[in-house]
């Protein structure tokens, strides 16, 4: 019995855990550096955002620890309850109980905190799609039973996000559906058709909204309207440009001095580039690369089909967040409110990412245990 407990302890993917903790510590340092000036002006303490993020990190570590030890049978039963809770939470954001910030109703107020349901809707969608594709493999190549159900569920979630409005969140859910369908064996013809329809729908949403259309034009030529719609992106590019090889020094960045909006949120990587330069960005890429490599490796090693889908989807959530955030702050994609996993300030995203990590560690542990029993 002692040997069995020891194998269970050492079999967890420690490289993933250590890499995530390193990125988390990196993020806490950068939140402190990027938010101190704004926090002192608005709240009278330069540690306001840092202390809150530290608390969110503590909650996230608890969530990660619990989810890493949950029985797999319990996780298997969560797809419908979590999907229903996500739908209800997204509907609540559109009610008078929702919190409206900058014209968007994306949060639910719970005491002194605000929760963004979209961050947890991603996980619930992955669990549902994993259940669907693993239990209906004989139907996934049919249109009526293999394509319509997951597309309808995802479309309903996207519609709730677009009403908020949250165009970026809807795009992330659509991307999750596309890659999960591709991984699940959906016919390429159906994927190509859905991709064309999604592009057409996105185009219509953009051209029918003057604000979105202006943001698209600003993305194509940001310096043409640098003082207005492109201001945030231009300041981000200035931050990266001034970082050089080794950066301006931790805490010595200038763009966070009320030049770069959301410096501690979605554009925190611009502060990393300015203050730590090429060296700091390379360190981040190394750590995040390890996280993503280990996450997808866990999926590759799974034996059970449902486990493969769950772990692939969880790894996809983290990777999409990292890639899309970097694309936005570097001007490779239109500006959208997408947080950098483990780095950006915000409790909902951080706790959701720690939940993804805990579940990945859970499946890495059970996988190693099965391999160990097989060798015996």
- Tell which residue, 8, 67, 16, 71, has the closest CA to residue 297: 16
- Local confidence band at 217 (pLDDT 50, 70, 90 cut-offs): low
Q: What is the pLDDT of residues 82-101, one digit of tens each?
A: 999 999 999 999 988 888 87
Q: What is the pLDDT of residues 327-375, one digit of tens each?
A: 999 888 877 778 999 999 999 999 999 999 999 999 998 554 444 444 4
- Local confidence band at 42 (pLDDT 50, 70, 90 cut-offs): confident
Structure tokens at 22: 């390193």
**Cα torsion through 198, 201, 206, 208, rounded to 10:** 180
Mean pLDDT score of the chain: 86
Q: What is the pLDDT of residues 297-322, one digit of tens each?
A: 999 999 999 999 999 999 999 999 99
DSSP state of 101: E
Whole-number Cα distances in Å, 95 to 109, 133, 310: 12, 33, 32
Enumerate the β-bridge partners of residue 108.
98, 115
- Local confidence band at 234 (pLDDT 50, 70, 90 cut-offs): confident
| Cβ proximity of 253 and 274 under 8 Å | yes
DSSP one-letter string for 161-207: HHHTT-HHHHHHHHHHHHHHHHHHT--HHHHHHHHHHHHHHHHHHHH
Q: What is the pLDDT of residues 14-25, one digit of tens each?
A: 999 999 999 999
Residue with tokens 């016919």: 187
Enumerate the β-bridge partners of residue 105.
100
pTM of the model: 0.90
Chain center to CA of 45: 29
């Amino acid at each position: 019995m002692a040997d069995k407990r020891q194998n269970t302890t050492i079999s967890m993917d420690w490289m993933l855990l250590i890499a995530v903790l390193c990125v988390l510590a990196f993020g806490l340092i950068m939140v402190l550096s990027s938010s101190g000036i704004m926090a002192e002006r608005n709240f009278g303490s330069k540690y306001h955002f840092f202390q809150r993020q530290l608390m969110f990190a503590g909650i996230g570590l608890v969530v990660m620890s619990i989810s890493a030890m949950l029985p797999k049978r319990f996780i298997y039963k969560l797809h419908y309850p979590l999907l229903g809770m996500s739908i209800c939470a997204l509907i609540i954001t559109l009610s008078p109980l929702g919190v409206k910030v900058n014209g968007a109703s994306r949060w639910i107020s719970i005491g002194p905190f605000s929760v963004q349901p979209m961050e947890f809707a991603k996980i619930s969608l992955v669990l549902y799609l994993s259940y669907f594709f693993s239990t209906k493999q004989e139907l996934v190549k049919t249109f009526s039973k293999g394509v319509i159900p997951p597309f309808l569920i995802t479309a309903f979630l996207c519609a709730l996000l677009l009403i908020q409005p949250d165009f970026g969140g809807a795009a992330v859910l659509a991307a999750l559906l596309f890659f999960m369908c591709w991984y699940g064996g959906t016919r390429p013809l159906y994927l190509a058709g859905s991709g064309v329809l999604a592009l057409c729908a996105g185009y219509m949403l953009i051209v029918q909204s003057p604000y979105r259309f202006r943001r698209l034009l600003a993305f194509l030529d940001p310096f043409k309207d640098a003082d207005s719609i492109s201001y945030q992106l231009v300041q981000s590019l200035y931050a990266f440009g001034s970082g050089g090889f080794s950066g301006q020094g931790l805490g010595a960045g200038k763009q966070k001095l009320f030049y770069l909006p959301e410096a501690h949120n979605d554009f925190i990587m611009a502060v990393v580039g300015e203050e730590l330069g090429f060296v700091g960005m390379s360190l981040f890429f190394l750590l995040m690369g390890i996280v993503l490599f280990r996450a997808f490796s866990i999926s590759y090693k799974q034996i059970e089909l449902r486990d493969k889908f769950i772990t692939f989807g969880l790894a996809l959530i983290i990777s999409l967040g990292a890639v899309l955030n970097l694309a936005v702050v570097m001007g490779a994609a239109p500006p959208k409110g997408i947080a950098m996993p483990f780095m950006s300030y915000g409790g909902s995203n951080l706790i959701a990412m720690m939940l993804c990590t805990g579940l990945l560690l859970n499946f890495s542990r059970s996988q190693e245990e099965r391999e160990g029993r097989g060798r015996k």
